[in-house]
């Protein structure tokens, strides 16, 4: 039985466990994604059975549960099969061919010295381990479109994976994830046919679906008495209007809870959600922007950060000059920050959403 004093003292608190609302929390249940999770598991099942799995591409807008669903399946696959080595890579974090191969080697238990070794050497090492250990690597490349934004053809790593059998004598299972609709158009036919045997689309969530998602998280995150009835429907409605983004819905719920906590309120109420929404920059902020500006803003927001060349590429119907003007205006309104850094190929302009 729960200690009664712990219970009494806890009753005054809003959160039971706010970690459940953090972006890196991996939910144990994912309402309205059972079908997609099954589809992914079906595609990957070959890997667990010592056969070839179906490589797949997962598409869909931000906050539709792509990353979490894939991580969920990879975790289960690892529990189920000793042979499989699941490797999750976010291509914003490892954005070069070299760093991706490095991560693969590392996941296979190979220590790569700091001084670094050449790509060929890493490739060789990976081949050696795989031959020796009879492992079946399954690699998820999240935000894979990032590989195409560099001038150094980092996307070549996709060729490496496509011809893994030649290169490493072992097939790699590949799950590519992207929210870019243009991704497929950038892929060469040969790669497409070997890396994408199946496509799965994740749709935006409806308000009802968002409500279920929030409910399942709120049960763990809040004490049962600390949410007023209208809070979840309101968070769901707001997020539904903003592209059905579950990330926003959960973030709103968390921020609303923090507002209530700060005010020492008994419960989280409607006003807290409204304030939270202002803080995350909802409607109000959006209203100041028009047409193309808003599109540019939404694109940067979706990515978190982009380089200027990515922006030019995305809005190539506009002149670079007018894209620069949008950036200048967004910056003067305080929505974004612009930072110049020097990369291998010269100056890189990073554009980020202001937090
Ligand atoms: P994407 O990769 O499509 O942008 P994520 O998988 O990162 O989306 O999901 C964004 C957030 O929403 C994460 O915190 C995730 O836990 C949560 N989420 C998304 N879909 C669901 C769902 N069906 N059930 C529970 N939580 C979800
Ligand atoms: Mg994601």
Indicate the average pLDDT of the chain: 90
Residue 353, pLDDT score: 87
173 and 38 in one domain? yes
Say if residue 42 is in the same domain as residue 150.
Answer: yes
User: Domain containing 256: what range?
Assistant: 17-21+205-288
Q: Which ligand 1 atom sits closest to the C-alpha of 32?
A: 23
Q: What is the Cα–Cα distance from 227 to 115, expressed in whole angstroms?
A: 53
Of the three residues 171, 201, 231, the one that is the final residue of a domain is 201
Full DSSP string of 285-300: HHHT--HHHHHHHHHH
Contact by Cβ (8 Å): 40, 175? yes
Nearest alpha carbon, ligand 1 atom 25: 30
> Does position 177 have pLDDT exceeding 60, yes or no?
yes
Please report the pLDDT score of residue 192 as a whole number: 92
Instruction: Return left, alpha or beta for 3; rule: phi > 0 is left, psi -120 to 50 is alpha, else beta.
Output: beta
Do 63 and 193 reside in the same domain of the chain? yes
Q: What is the CATH number of the domain that holds 183?
A: 3.40.50.300
Q: Say how many domains are in the chain.
A: 3
pLDDT for the residue 7: 66
Question: Does residue 213 have its Cβ closer than 6 Å to ligand 1?
Answer: yes
Query: The tokens of 51 are what?
Result: 């056969």
- Give the model's pLDDT for residue 347: 81
The residue contributing the CA closest to ligand 1 atom 20 is 65
> Regarding predicted confidence, which is higher, 232 or 288?
232
User: Are 197 and 78 contained in the same domain?
Assistant: yes
Cα 62 to ligand 2 centroid, rounded to whole Å:
6
pLDDT at 287: 60
Quick one: pLDDT at residue 281?
67
Last residue of a domain, one of 140, 173, 201: 201
Q: Which of 258-262, 327-331, 341-345 has the lowest mean pLDDT?
A: 341-345
Are 261 and 298 in a shared domain?
no
CATH code for the domain of 250: 1.10.8.60
Residue 333 lies in a domain: yes
Residue 12 lies in a domain: no
CA 66 – ligand 1 centroid, Å: 7
**pLDDT for position 295:** 87
Q: What is the pLDDT of residues 256-312, one digit of tens each?
A: 999 999 888 999 999 999 999 988 866 555 666 777 888 898 899 888 899 999 999
Ligand nearest the Cα atom of residue 33 = 1
Could you tell me if 192 and 251 lie in one domain? no
Pair (197, 247) in one structural domain = no
Q: Does ligand 1 have an atom closer than 6 angstroms to the CB of 86? A: no
Distance 302 CA to ligand 2 centre (A): 10
pLDDT score recorded for residue 285: 55
Name the band, by pLDDT with cuts 50, 70 and 90, for residue 117. Answer: confident
Q: Is the CB of 63 under 6 A from ligand 1?
A: yes
Question: Rounded to two decimals, what is the model's pTM?
Answer: 0.79
In a domain, 315, yes or no: yes
Give the C-alpha separation, 250 to 276, whole Å: 11
Rounded alpha-carbon distances, angstroms, from residue 257 to 20, 159, 244, 249, 333: 12, 47, 21, 13, 28
Last residue of a domain, one of 233, 263, 288: 288
Give the residue, by CA position, lying nearest to ligand 1 atom 19.
65
Q: Are residues 263 and 297 in the same domain?
A: no
Q: Answer yes or no: do 165 and 90 share one domain.
A: yes
What DSSP string describes 197-216? SEEEEPPPPPHHHHHHHHHH
Binning pLDDT at 50, 70 and 90, where does residue 29 land? very high
282 C-alpha to ligand 1 centroid (Å):
19
Ligand 1 near 37 CB (within 6 A): no
* ∠ Cα 330 64 226 (to 5°): 90
Distance 69 CA to ligand 2 centre (A): 9
Report which ligand 1 atom has the smallest distance to the Cα of 216. 25
């Amino acid at each position: 039985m729960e200690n009664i004093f712990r219970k009494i003292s806890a009753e005054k608190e809003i959160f039971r466990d706010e970690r459940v609302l953090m972006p890196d929390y991996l939910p144990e249940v994912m309402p309205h994604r059972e079908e997609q999770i099954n589809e992914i598991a079906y595609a990957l099942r070959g890997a667990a059975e010592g056969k070839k799995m179906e490589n797949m591409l997962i598409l869909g807008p931000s906050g539709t549960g792509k990353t979490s669903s894939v991580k969920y399946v990879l975790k289960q696959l690892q529990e189920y099969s000793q042979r499989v080595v699941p490797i999750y890579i976010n291509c914003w974090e490892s954005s070069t061919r070299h760093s991706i191969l490095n991560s693969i080697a590392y996941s296979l238990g190979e220590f790569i010295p700091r001084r670094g070794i050449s790509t060929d050497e890493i490739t060789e090492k990976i081949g050696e381990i795989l031959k020796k250990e009879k492992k079946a690597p399954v690699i998820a490349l999240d935000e894979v479109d990032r590989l195409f934004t560099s001038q150094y053809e980092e996307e070549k790593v996709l060729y490496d994976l496509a011809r893994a059998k030649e290169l490493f004598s072992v097939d790699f299972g590949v799950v590519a994830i992207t929210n870019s609709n243009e991704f497929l158009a950038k892929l060469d036919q040969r790669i497409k046919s070997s890396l994408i045997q199946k496509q799965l689309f994740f749709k935006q969530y409806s308000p009802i679906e968002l409500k279920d998602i929030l409910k399942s998280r709120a049960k763990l995150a809040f004490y049962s008495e600390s949410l007023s009835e209208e809070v979840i429907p309101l968070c769901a409605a707001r997020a539904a209007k903003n592209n059905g983004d579950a990330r926003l819905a959960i973030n709103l719920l968390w921020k609303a809870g923090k507002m209530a906590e700060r005010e020492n309120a008994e419960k989280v109420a409607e006003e807290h959600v409204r304030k939270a929404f202002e803080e995350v920059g909802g409607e109000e902020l959006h209203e100041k922007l028009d047409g193309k500006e808003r599109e540019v803003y939404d694109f940067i927001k979706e990515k978190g950060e982009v380089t200027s060349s990515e922006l030019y590429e995305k809005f190539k119907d506009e002149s670079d000059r007018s894209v620069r003007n949008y950036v200048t205006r967004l910056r003067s309104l305080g929505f974004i920050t612009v930072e110049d850094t020097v990369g291998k190929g010269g100056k890189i302009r990073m554009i980020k959403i202001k937090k």
